[in-house]
Structure 1
Amino acid sequence: MNQERVPRRSITGVIRSFFALNSSMIALLAMVVLVGMGEKMAERFLPLYLMAVGGTTWAVGSLNGMDNLLSALYSFPGGYLSDLLGYKKALIVFNLVAMVGYVIVILVPTWWAVLIGAVFFISWTAISLPAIMSLVSKAVPKDKRTMGVSLHSLTRRIPMALGPLVGGALIQVFGRIKGVRISFGVALLLGAVAIVLEVFFIEEDPDAGKKDRAVHLRDSIRFITPDLRNLLISDILIRFAEQIPYAFVVLWVVDRNGITPLQFGVLTTIEMVTAMLVYIPIAILADRNSKKPFVLTTFVFFTAFPIVLYFSRSFPALCGAFVLRGLKEYGEPTRKALIMDLAPENAKASTFGTYYLLRDLIVSVAAFGAAWLWNRGPGVNFFTAAAFGAAGTIYFAVFGRDLKSAV
């Protein structure tokens, strides 16, 4: 008797389905690795580079403040252009902008050239994130959205882990000035390769050119619901905890505690590998269970890191501190997925950009003030950061909505 045979799915098909992979997602992840690798080879060491070319701690603080301020100012235009042009064309434009910044730093080895170049290259993550989130929301099924965001977050950590390792080795061999400039040269080359991937492998945005008009800022602000507002307030306080010590971590580790740039690269790798190990398990659990506990746990890790860092004075102790720093990514994809779920279908990128505009605009105040705190002592800087983290954690514990019920 003939029996109809049921075809079995290939292992590749099962993997692609489980991780919500398709041609656009695969090209996106490859692009993230290439651009991120070039960026992170130099970004973590820019405070050291600034000091080496004649800058002061105020220049370091200004760079970090610019990072947050420009992230805020570029977030909404990034979402606006993504909605207007479509995510594919927008990503190409954003990569070209970053490459202009790399060229400035390569050609002009001064501290003020870094600040000018940063206007272009420091913007890439912030200006491109709304387009990336829009691509993810359209390229994967809704019930796989947290997985898609988590996969992007995990992939971002590959260059964040390897980039500082390679950058630290270049500084070890060629010195702080030449090593950083070589890193930016590599970043320029990798950015060009990423544009080729975007042109040939990312599918066109199905909604590109179909909108009568892009969503304006006043419209997007109305899309910030009470649930998003509570998340935004707690997120702002937590980012104070992150950004107040951020630019000075490398100075604390290398200049205050005698750790080499290469060892700092190893510490960054430990941080990113830790983050990568928790992304997929948490994505699976977050899609099936209440999401608030995952975000709340993330906020606890943000709060604890500056305290632990202050008491870490040796390489083994610092390894433990950077494991903790990696764990702060525990619930980040869940938070990003919630923003996309609550945003209107035809304006996800704009709403996401508006959220980050409001958040980073306020947080930039803390980043600019971080140098003042650092000059009064690392302990003042670190413990002030922890106090803001504690406030954000308590606020979310009391007022934050269970994320599962909001989706």
Structure 2
Amino acid sequence: MKLTEKLRGEFSFIKGNYAVLIVSWIIVDFASELPATYFGLYVLGLGATETILGVIGLSQFLALASMQFPGGYLADKYGRKWLISTMTFGVALSFILYGIAPSWHFLLIGVVLMGIFNSTYQPALNAMVSDSLPAERRGMGFSIIMLIASASTTPSPAVAGLLRAHFGLVDGMRIAYAIVVVLFLAAAFLRFFFLKETVVNTSKPHLKEIIHSYPAALKESFSVWRKLPKSMLYLFLSFSITIFGFSATNLLTVVYATRVLRIDEVVWAFTVAIVPITTIILAIPVGKLVDKAKRKIPLLASMLIFGLAMWVFVYADLAKVAASLILVGAGQVMLTASFGALQTDLTPKEQRGKVNGFINFANYIIMATGSLLGGYLYEHVSPQAPFVIAAVTVLPSFLLALALVKEPERREE
């Protein structure tokens, strides 16, 4: 068999909605990572403290959690496409407030709006990906998402570094957010015109229905767990523990690297590009491993790798920082591919919107708590404290997954 024919067969599932989402993710991921490189420093530059930075993280994650239940409910009842396309427009426009903010108070409004729009369509987006992947290609499918995200975000830190070098921190970030708005609008139009609905017999709800759907959505999102195997619950709990630890460091990594480890801000932008480069290299091999071997192997390995990465980072020089970022990239691709594939294996198609909504809601609440705790500990206890928490929490997460998460004998379609 010719190499081209083999490759065509290997990646034949990249079509339809999955292909459209990949193209839109290339745009969105590059745009998102551009200001993310210096976001923590930007907030401090607008007059915030490390604790306030934690409060902004808290607000962001609470907003991201706020619409997960109705988002999942609406995705299953009324369809995926309309939620994904319309809410992407809302996210695009909310970034305007990020760019024009005269102080952190004004930026906080943009953070909350972005979180609300994003949380409304996130369950639908996750469900559409699951709907579009055949069971035997799920590991590869989720790995390719990581590959695409990594490939598109690799140049973002370098571009952010150049903007920082030429225009300064605050003005460079304002230019970055202008670019973000334009690119998110492009992705919104792409999703609006080219995605196809995957849920049959759907209709568009009115605003009143969306508001009234919250109690029913809340009830169904909790009751759905009675319809799932216990392993899905244990998988969720294990993942959530890991998420809590790393949310404590999320917005503080750039602050710690530049102000405690004394890494130059422009050098940091190029150094952090190691993460997406690592995921590019590992995405396809890890995806094939997840599809050919047990899903749990890379899941468990990712947790240990994350813990090691945090210990290396805390007292690192530039070389050790680079090593820790390589570990983070490896852990990310393993966790994304294995968790996404195993969650889909364990969840029936008609329940995926609600399950995604519940998981996203719970994890954002957990991340909000972790972010607030991390900011407080950084400012009032020790800059190292949030990173130590991230390293320690992987142990109970690992043990829970090892002992209680079982792969299904038959994977859901």
The answer to whether TM tops 0.5 is: yes
State which drifts further: 27-36 or 223-232.
Answer: 223-232
Out of 89, 110, 124, which is 1:117 matched to?
A: 110
Task: Compute the displacement of 1:76 (Å).
Answer: 2.6
CA contact (8 A) 2:295 2:342 kept: no
State which drifts further: 112-121 or 100-109.
Answer: 100-109
- The one-letter amino acid paired with 1:51 is L
1:163-221 Cα shifts (integer Å, max 9, x gaps): 22212221121111111111110011111111221122222334261799987232232
TM alignment of 1:33-182, pairs within 5 A:
33-122=26-115, 126-182=119-175
1:318 paired to 2:311: no
Aligned twin of 2:331: 328
The DSSP-based 3-state class of the residue aligned with 2:384 is: helix
Distance 1:302 1:309, change over 3 A: same
State which drifts further: 376-385 or 181-190.
Answer: 376-385
Task: Compute the displacement of 1:71 (Å).
Answer: 2.8
CA contact (8 A) 1:79 1:131 kept: yes
Out of 296, 301, 305, which is 1:292 matched to?
A: 296
Task: Compute the displacement of 1:126 (Å).
Answer: 4.8
Aligned twin of 1:268: 272
The DSSP-based 3-state class of the residue aligned with 1:241 is: helix
Out of 393, 398, 403, which is 2:403 matched to?
A: 398
Task: Compute the displacement of 1:52 (Å).
Answer: 0.9
Out of 299, 303, 310, which is 2:307 matched to?
A: 303
State which drifts further: 266-275 or 253-262.
Answer: 253-262
State which drifts further: 227-236 or 12-21.
Answer: 12-21
- The one-letter amino acid paired with 2:393 is F
Aligned twin of 1:389: 394
Query: Alignment length, in residue pairs?
Result: 398
The DSSP-based 3-state class of the residue aligned with 1:223 is: helix
- Listed as ranges, the gaps of 5+ residues in structure 2 are none
Distance 1:73 1:157, change over 3 A: farther
1:249-300 Cα shifts (integer Å, max 9, x gaps): 1011112223233322222211111122222212112112111111000111
Distance 1:322 1:12, change over 3 A: same
Question: Percentage identity across aligned positions?
Answer: 21
Cα distance in 1, alignment partners of residues 321 and 34 from structure 2: 20
Cα distance in 1, alignment partners of residues 117 and 260 from structure 2: 31
- The one-letter amino acid paired with 1:355 is I
Cα distance in 2, alignment partners of residues 123 and 37 from structure 1: 21
CA contact (8 A) 2:232 2:405 kept: no
1:348 paired to 2:349: no
The DSSP-based 3-state class of the residue aligned with 2:257 is: helix
Cα distance in 1, alignment partners of residues 307 and 118 from structure 2: 23
Aligned twin of 1:253: 257
Distance 1:123 1:336, change over 3 A: farther
- The one-letter amino acid paired with 1:44 is T
Cα distance in 1, alignment partners of residues 12 and 368 from structure 2: 35
- The one-letter amino acid paired with 2:358 is T
- The one-letter amino acid paired with 1:235 is F
Cα distance in 2, alignment partners of residues 145 and 187 from structure 1: 30
- The one-letter amino acid paired with 1:372 is Y
Task: Compute the displacement of 1:159 (Å).
Answer: 3.3
Task: Compute the displacement of 1:16 (Å).
Answer: 6.2
- The one-letter amino acid paired with 2:392 is A
Cα distance in 1, alignment partners of residues 130 and 387 from structure 2: 37
Out of 8, 11, 14, which is 1:21 matched to?
A: 14
Task: Compute the displacement of 1:160 (Å).
Answer: 3.1
Cα distance in 1, alignment partners of residues 2 and 353 from structure 2: 34
- Listed as ranges, the gaps of 5+ residues in structure 1 are 1-7
1:324-363 Cα shifts (integer Å, max 9, x gaps): 1111111322211222232232231221111221232233
Cα distance in 2, alignment partners of residues 145 and 351 from structure 1: 17
State which drifts further: 42-51 or 65-74.
Answer: 65-74
Aligned twin of 1:207: 200
Task: Compute the displacement of 1:24 (Å).
Answer: 2.1
Cα distance in 2, alignment partners of residues 349 and 399 from structure 1: 24
Task: Compute the displacement of 1:9 (Å).
Answer: 9.4
State which drifts further: 244-253 or 389-398.
Answer: 389-398
Cα distance in 2, alignment partners of residues 197 and 369 from structure 1: 39
- The one-letter amino acid paired with 1:292 is K
Task: Compute the displacement of 1:46 (Å).
Answer: 1.4
Cα distance in 2, alignment partners of residues 311 and 19 from structure 1: 46
Q: How high is the TM-score relative to the length of structure 1?
A: 0.90
Task: Compute the displacement of 1:321 (Å).
Answer: 1.2
CA contact (8 A) 1:160 1:268 kept: no
Cα distance in 2, alignment partners of residues 262 and 117 from structure 1: 26
